[in-house]
A and B are shown apart, each in its own frame.
Chain A
Amino acid sequence: MTAILEARRVAKRFGGVVAVRGVDLTVRQGELLGLFGPNGAGKTTMFNLIAGAFLPDAGQVLLHGRDITREPAWRRARLGIARSFQIVRPFRALTVLENLLAAIPAHGGANDAASALALLRRVGLEARARDAAGDLTLGMLKRLEVARALAVGPRLLLLDEPLAGLAGQEAADLLRTVQALKRRMAIVMVEHNVRLALPVCDRAVVMDAGAVLAEGTPEQIRRDPAVIRAYLGSEAA
């Protein structure tokens, strides 16, 4: 399978903290890639570097082989990279529907509202379309976050802990929604809920302290002694 995204030896430090120390990461067309690791491992920083929220101190980011290392975030979104935020960032003053309308690319059609509603239906928020986003519960905001990223029409979707804060059934539903998106786009999912997320991944990467600790199929990851020691611990045993 061909690579849609390649991060080459990207590095980022914040003052004295090295958040990401020269990481290679490849995302393949149509795969669901799990990105795991303990708190502070550098997962969100990787997303920020890929999506262009900030520029790396070193290394390159390539989308379909094209160097996008210096492109601003808004242009990367237009090139097909969409993301959700670990801590939800809705446009609270806009309605739920407008949150998606803001994200749908311009093509001058009157169909924007119809496609926005279709997306809301997919995450179960259709009934709240006209409510202010600020009035939603956290669980709904997590789903809105995913729907808004989808509204961009991405070829690469970055989901930062989409299940965090969701109750059991809600989490299972959202995970099923994410799985259904696969093949039409590549997805990278950061999740702390490894037990739930790892089995649905095609491949997984584990980070620790700003570096890649392990990479492989869910089965390989589950058995990797370094992973078990550093992160998964008894949870995977």
Chain B
Amino acid sequence: MSEATIERAPPRPHLRSDTLGLVIATIALAALGIALPALGASGYIRTLVYYSAFYLALGQAWNIMSGLTGYLSFAHGALSGIGAYGVVIAMNADWPMGASLAVAGGAAVLASLVIGATSLRLRGAAFTFATLFFQELMLLAVRKLPFAGGPGGLVLEQILPEWIAYVGMILLAGVATIGFALIRRSRLGIRVLAIKGDEDAAASIGIAATRLKLILFCVSALLAGLAGAVHALFTASLYPDVAFSVDLSLIALAVPLIGGVATASGPALGALLYVGLREALQLIAPSAHLTILGLLLLVVVLYMRDGIGPTLARLIRRSR
């Protein structure tokens, strides 16, 4: 952008530099993550980075819908499961990877349209119940569907080099984070936060709440579906009870809530914290990841309502 445009541009609601800083930091971290293998990082470190990116992508997808609108989704695990099954079924039918990923994302968006069209017109908990119902329904359905392999699941026939999923997930997490930041400061972001604040007041100024909620849910589902799809390339095998487990839905929701809901950087903090703690406690309590998540959430909800990130930021500002 030229000097002249900057001068003429009216003041923006958020400092341009805030968003710019976040974009630069995101790109830098993603580049570092992608470079780690070349820098000699062990397989263990790579796995931790990969899972942080996976949970960040999912958490950021959730943040775009539920963080901005206040309508809580418990279906992000199922949306990512749909993406996972979509990509594996398409690739096993010899579709190219790009087209298969598009199928995966498209299927998740379609699912979000079905959930959203039936429940986003209503206020309150209708959407949350619809997402919970959908999450359970998908698990039951996929166990029964023959083309989804039934309870035994599916295996990705093609053998892919490990770096594809690794790089793909880091890129996706970066895109989701930057996407959130851009949406948050856009006109759309301001208007959905108005809906979250007071839906009647939002209607009184001409905001068509149902439509905006549905748009965000579609964007959110696209990201969740792609995250699930890339993760399927990583694991190369799918079991309905894993791909559609409610655990993933809880992680998608907890990551932003812990780190800082409705902020761009919060989910990154939440994902790192969750993966770090889970690893640290792996030896003591190998299958306690949900307990860890629950405890973290409890502490945050009790002591720092906006999440760890914003609370820290406030403390730092106050101590200056």
A positions within 8 Å CB-CB of B: 51-53, 72-75, 77-78, 82-83, 85, 89-95, 97-99, 101-103, 105-106, 110-114, 117, 129-130, 148-149, 151-152
Contact = CB atoms under 8 A, between A and B. Distances in A.
Contact of B198 (A52, A89, A111): A89
A74 B10 contact: no
Given A94-B190, A101-B13, A113-B12, A78 B197 contact: no
Contacts of A83: 204
B13 A89 contact: no
23 contacts: A74-B207, A74-B208, A77-B206, A82-B204, A85-B201, A89-B200, A89-B201, A91-B193, A91-B198, A91-B202, A92-B197, A93-B193, A94-B197, A97-B13, A98-B190, A110-B9, A113-B11, A113-B13, A117-B10, A129-B11, A148-B205, A149-B205, A152-B205
A83 B13 CA distance: 24
Given A89-B200, A93-B197, A105 B187 contact: no
B10 A113 contact: yes
B231 interface: no
A94 B193 contact: yes
Interface in B166-195: 187, 190-191, 193-194
A77 B12 contact: no
Interface string B1-27: 000000001111100000000000000
B203 interface: yes
Contacts of B10: 110-114, 117
B72 interface: no
Contacts, number: 90
A102 B204 contact: no
Contacts of A106: 187
A83 B11 CA distance: 27
Given A72-B203, A77-B206, A93 B196 contact: yes
B201 to A, nearest CB: 4
B209 interface: yes
A101 B205 contact: no
Interface string B243-282: 0000000000000000000100000000000000000000
Contact of B205 (A95, A103, A110): A103
Contacts of A78: 206
A83 B204 CA distance: 7
Interface string B196-231: 111011111111110000000000000000000000
Contacts of B12: 113
Interface of B: 9-13, 187, 190-191, 193-194, 196-198, 200-209, 262
Contact of A53 (B196, B200, B207): B200
A95 B198 contact: no
B198 A102 contact: no
A91 B204 contact: no
B204 A77 contact: yes
A72 B204 CA distance: 10
Given A91-B197, A102-B207, A149-B204, 17 more contacts: A73-B200, A75-B206, A91-B198, A91-B202, A93-B196, A93-B262, A94-B190, A94-B197, A97-B13, A98-B193, A101-B187, A102-B191, A102-B202, A110-B10, A113-B13, A114-B10, A130-B13
A77 B203 contact: yes
The 4 closest A-B pairs by CB, nearest first: A77-B206, A103-B205, A113-B10, A91-B197
Most chain-A Cβ atoms within 10 A of its Cβ — which of B190, B191, B198, B200? B190
Nearest to A158: B204
Contacts of B205: 77, 82, 102-103, 148-149, 151-152
B22 to A, nearest CB: 18
Contact of A103 (B9, B196, B206): B206
B292 to A, nearest CB: 29
Contacts of A112: 10, 187
Contacts of A74: 202-204, 206-209
Contact of A101 (B190, B196, B198, B208): B190
Which of B11, B187, B191, B201 has the most chain A CB within a 10 Å cutoff?
Answer: B201
Of listed A90, A98, A113, residue having the most chain B CB within 10 A: A98
A102 B194 contact: yes
A84 B36 CA distance: 56
A133 B10 CA distance: 20
A139 B73 CA distance: 37
A21 B11 CA distance: 49
A169 to B, nearest CB: 27
B183 to A, nearest CB: 14
Nearest to A74: B203
Contact of A95 (B13, B187, B207, B209): B13
